[in-house]
A and B are shown apart, each in its own frame.
Chain A
Amino acid sequence: QVQLVESGGGVVQPGRSLRLSCTASGLTFSSHGMHWVRQAPGKGLEWVAVISHDGSDKQYADSVKGRFTISRDNSKNTLYLQMDSLRIEDTAIYYCAKMDCGPDCPLDYWGQGTLATVSP
């Protein structure tokens, strides 16, 4: 079965960096675009970034553009989110997700999330 497992969350000070990882299994990772979605404590969902199946195309939310970088290593079935210049408002659970939808919309998959806390 498909599994997405995030890691790398923790507590960091404002202005510092954190790198999140998402390791996939049970799917042909290199065939799918992958997303990061976050959820601040007690708040709603916010789409963060997407990367195409081969890493050639990336898109970001305005709130993270220029500070966050999405990348992937298909040889390791792993998705990354490099978060620099962190702000208190970046505190959230970060989910990786496969939710491609084109002519067909196969089942979406989400990880369990990893909590990143930005605190002085």
Chain B
Amino acid sequence: DIVMTQSPLSLPVTLGQPASISCRSSQSPVHSDGTTYLHWFQQRPGQSPRRLINKISNRDAGVPDRFSGSGSGTDFTLKISRVEAEDVGVYYCMQGTHWPWTFGQGTKVEIK
């Protein structure tokens, strides 16, 4: 199984400041079709998860443009350009290329 490793696991940030989360996969999540099905999810406190970024860098509908994704190979990054109060929660990367799909451990973003 592909292991997804996130860092840091806890990220205190100041409102208005940027934040960055790293995700590393134990194997390349590139599909045989050439696509990398690496996604990012947000789970706000008390809520169900929702996908923010699909296929490394595509924002899902309704996601603010302060969120961006990048990366290639086995190293991927989620960035928040200016953290807002509503961004508090846990962020997960997930590979949806190889069965079984696997999530990272999660990174808890909180306001300093």
Q: Taking beta carbons and an 8 Å cutoff, which residues of A are in contact with B?
A: 37, 44-47, 50, 59-62, 95, 97, 99, 101, 105, 107-108, 110-113
Contact = CB atoms under 8 A, between A and B. Distances in A.
B27 to A, nearest CB: 15
A39 B40 CA distance: 16
A50 B101 CA distance: 9
B48 A111 contact: yes
A110 B54 contact: no
Contacts of A95: 48-49
A39 B110 CA distance: 20
Contacts, number: 56
B65 interface: no
Interface in B92-112: 92, 94, 96, 99-106
Interface centre among A95, A97, A101 (most CB of B within 10 A): A101
Given A101-B39, A101-B55, A105-B55, A47 B100 contact: yes
What interface size band does chain B fall in?
A: 20 to 34
A37 B37 CA distance: 17
B7 interface: no
27 contacts: A44-B104, A44-B105, A44-B106, A45-B103, A47-B94, A47-B101, A47-B103, A59-B99, A61-B100, A62-B100, A95-B48, A99-B39, A99-B96, A101-B37, A101-B54, A101-B55, A105-B51, A105-B55, A105-B58, A105-B60, A107-B51, A107-B61, A107-B62, A108-B50, A110-B48, A110-B49, A112-B48
Contact of B51 (A61, A62, A99): A99
A55 to B, nearest CB: 17
A45 B92 contact: yes
A95 B103 CA distance: 14
Interface string B7-18: 000000000000
